[in-house]
Structure 1
Amino acid sequence: MEPLGYDELLLIYDKIHNVHDRKSFYQASKQILKVACIHLRELDIGFPDLLKDVLPSSPNMVKFKCNKRLSNTYMELLARSCPNLRDLRLGIEEDLDPHKAAYELGEFDFNDDGLCVVVNACSRLNEVDLSGRLHVGDVGVASLLQSCTGLTYLNLSGCASITDELFKLIGKSWSLRHLCLGGCMVSDLGLEYIAKGNLRTCLQKLHMDKCDNISKNGISSLKQMKELTDLKLSNCGVNITDSEILALSSIKTLEYINLSWLIDAANISSSHMDSSSMEPSVVNLAGCKTLTSVGLCSFAHHPRLKYLSLFSCHDVSWKDVEYVVSTCKSLVYIGLSRRIKTPMPKEGFNMSYYHHNWRTIFWK
């Protein structure tokens, strides 16, 4: 009979709810756990208490994921134990109140000090997710960028402590391909730093949902991004209007664009994305309630459009939808609100057949 591995031990531990029973099981299986972790390459753990034995026994680990609070002590242990890390996923699943972020053992969630220790020891990191870590600021992320020069993915969503000064350093990166800044306090100045530095030649995906401090000047600077294929600007507040979206039309490389819930964009249409400039294959306009029939019909004959989301866009008619679907040869999916103008199609109508291709119609 083969000895229990790490996964099996963790499953058993997860089924034990009594604190004292957990402690007893942990003590009994400690040695087995250490042996099981020697060849461990990836770890997704929801029980930080186990880390003090798992990490020192896992020198070959390349991917570490934890969505719970971690103290600086655990970050230091991670740095000492796993120098070969390539992928660090620390995005937290709960909203931390910076005034109530005390860890169960009386310690706080890690801050810049804890992050600096890890990135200085693990300089070969390629992908890092710090989303929701409220105590991470400019100093920690700057250390990450300086130590890990091969970084390709960085998620700072919800990191409310970072400032525009950090974006000046981010803009100097030659390696980043995917940058997530959802909910960050980035301003037009920070966006200009990103768009005018070395990053303009390599960044492919930029996600800035809920960044409501940006406006025309910042958006216009994105025209300098030479490799940008995926842009997310959903829920970016009242400063993003038609003129800002029109400024994006010169980004010919864009394939995916998310403009959902831009409530002050008067009538977004494909005139902002015409075939002489960018030709995105995926367009998300969910929640753009001012979209009219004119705006929707302008998507007709779009050469590359495959996916179009119009959830919560009520001011369009089924006739307009049929016109767009029948003329966009590449379209495979369209999402619609059940409250669009009449006449509505018969209930349950969720497929259409045009140009020898089926289109999926999803109602919400």
Structure 2
Amino acid sequence: MEPLGDDELLYIFDKIPCYIEDKPLFAQVSKQFMKVACVRLHRLRSCFPDMLFDILPSSPNMRRFSCSKPLSNTHLKLLAHSCPKLELLGIGSAQDHDPSSEPGEFDSDFDDDGLRAVGNSCSHLSEVSLSRRLHVGDAGIVSLVTSSKNLIKLNLEGCIRVTDESLKAIGESGIHNLNLEECCLITDLGLEYLAVGDLKKCLQHLNLSKCDRISDNGVIHLKQMVGLTHLNLSKCGVHVTDAGIAALLSQLTNIEILDLSWLINVADISLLAIGSKCLKLKEINLNGCEAISAEGLRAFSGHQTLKRLTLFSCYNFSWEDVESVALTCVGLKYLGLMKSIKTPMPEPSFDYLQIGRWYCGIDWDEDSDYLFW
């Protein structure tokens, strides 16, 4: 009896219901069966990079690929050649890396050469995550962004070789969601690049957490991004102050989610601007902004959309101040407070506040130093 050919096996594979486990089992019978099954494969989450040499060449219809393990340039070039219809690429590393640590398994990880191959071949990419891939730099990012005209989401968290040069290319893109957390070489010039190009018309989510080389001069450029709804400036250092934040938030009236945690030079002036101008604000994180006082807190009195207010490691106001503001915020659902604020609440077990017919939950923290890390 003649062995079954690929066409016959593909016909059998298509008859297997997709809601049972038989399709994965079919692919495990032999390499021929796996090859046939891969023709219909649209998504792959791989934990075994060595198997990619068998899977990818037979997966021309792949739309989503993710892998958090070490990948070489050879892997990425194979992916680029085999899967031109790719739309979502999630190849961020699963672990944090310490540049000063001993050599490890990620030392031979892919770099700009492999990323360029993906950018040149996979023109349908819309979402890409490269978080914590330490060998990725400007050349690869620029190539990817300029080649991928459909790109709307880009995660570069912890890509420590990314500089302002990458942001110059990103500034001319149509990205909606950009994560630059811990891209520690970014400066004010990079923020200016983001604000002067086409990006200013479409960017909605921007994460600049731990970018500690930026200052008020760069932050003020962001006021041109009037479509921003989510902004994270947490731990951006001592050079981001009230001057920059107040000027910025007076213009960004569409902001809904705002993280200013651990900006030690942000105080009441910023809150007065936020409370009066950001009328769509739903969540604000002010952890570690120790200079905030009752005057700044009262800026949120009567706010109609605020749902979450987090104030861990903030001490310069009383429970009476908090209560007088919270009771006027009809949508407030969550408060994060320190037990050591001035004149704390009278009942130690008090964990909610009734606002009209609704309840606002309260988290009390005795020592929130861990939040800094």
Alpha-carbon shift at residue 294 of structure 1 (Å): 2.3
Aligned letter for 2:65? F
> Does 2:61 correspond to 1:85?
no
Once the two structures are superposed, residues 249-274 of structure 1 have per-residue CA deviations (whole angstroms, 9 ceiling, x without a partner) of 22112111110111222446530213
* 8 Å CA contact retained: 1:269, 1:298: no
Cα distance in structure 1, aligned partners of 2:309 and 2:99: 38
> Does 2:304 correspond to 1:303?
yes
Once the two structures are superposed, residues 43-78 of structure 1 have per-residue CA deviations (whole angstroms, 9 ceiling, x without a partner) of 222221221222223222211111111111111111
Which structure 2 residues correspond to residues 161-200 of structure 1 after superposition, within 5 A?
A: 161-173=161-173, 175-184=174-183, 185-200=185-200
Aligned letter for 1:246? A
CA 1:9/1:293 → structure 2, altered by over 3 Å: closer, same or farther?
A: farther
State the identity %. Answer: 48
CA 1:163/1:269 → structure 2, altered by over 3 Å: closer, same or farther?
A: closer
Cα distance in structure 2, aligned partners of 1:343 and 1:203: 41
> Does 2:51 correspond to 1:50?
yes
Name the counterpart of 1:253: 254
CA 1:36/1:289 → structure 2, altered by over 3 Å: closer, same or farther?
A: farther
Alpha-carbon shift at residue 5 of structure 1 (Å): 3.9
Once the two structures are superposed, residues 197-248 of structure 1 have per-residue CA deviations (whole angstroms, 9 ceiling, x without a partner) of 1111111111100001111110111111121111100010111111111112
Once the two structures are superposed, residues 312-342 of structure 1 have per-residue CA deviations (whole angstroms, 9 ceiling, x without a partner) of 2233322122112101112122222233333
Name the counterpart of 2:203: 203
Name the counterpart of 2:11: none
> Does 2:364 correspond to 1:363?
yes
Superposed CA RMSD in Å reads: 2.4
* 8 Å CA contact retained: 2:286, 2:312: yes
Name the counterpart of 1:237: 237
Aligned letter for 2:363? F
Aligned letter for 1:131? S
Cα distance in structure 1, aligned partners of 2:188 and 2:358: 43
What TM-score, normalized to structure 2? Answer: 0.85
Name the counterpart of 2:133: 133
Structure 1 residue runs of 5 or longer lacking an equivalent are 11-25
The answer to which of 175-184 and 279-288 deviates more is 279-288
Cα distance in structure 2, aligned partners of 1:109 and 1:96: 12
Alpha-carbon shift at residue 95 of structure 1 (Å): 2.8
* 8 Å CA contact retained: 1:4, 1:32: no
Q: Any idea what SS the aligned residue of 1:298 has? A: helix
CA 1:30/1:141 → structure 2, altered by over 3 Å: closer, same or farther?
A: same
Name the counterpart of 1:120: 120
Structure 2 residue runs of 5 or longer lacking an equivalent are 1-15, 366-373
Cα distance in structure 2, aligned partners of 1:320 and 1:262: 22
Q: Any idea what SS the aligned residue of 1:116 has? A: helix
What TM-score, normalized to structure 1? Answer: 0.87
Q: Any idea what SS the aligned residue of 2:69 has? A: coil
Aligned letter for 1:212? D
* 8 Å CA contact retained: 1:76, 1:117: yes
Cα distance in structure 2, aligned partners of 1:33 and 1:268: 63
* 8 Å CA contact retained: 2:234, 2:261: yes
CA 1:278/1:195 → structure 2, altered by over 3 Å: closer, same or farther?
A: farther
> Does 2:212 correspond to 1:212?
yes
Cα distance in structure 2, aligned partners of 1:317 and 1:42: 53
Q: Any idea what SS the aligned residue of 1:141 has? A: helix
Once the two structures are superposed, residues 4-50 of structure 1 have per-residue CA deviations (whole angstroms, 9 ceiling, x without a partner) of 444x799xxxxxxxxxxxxxxx9x76455444433222222222122
Q: Any idea what SS the aligned residue of 2:363 has? A: strand
Cα distance in structure 2, aligned partners of 1:172 and 1:230: 20
The answer to which of 39-48 and 203-212 deviates more is 39-48
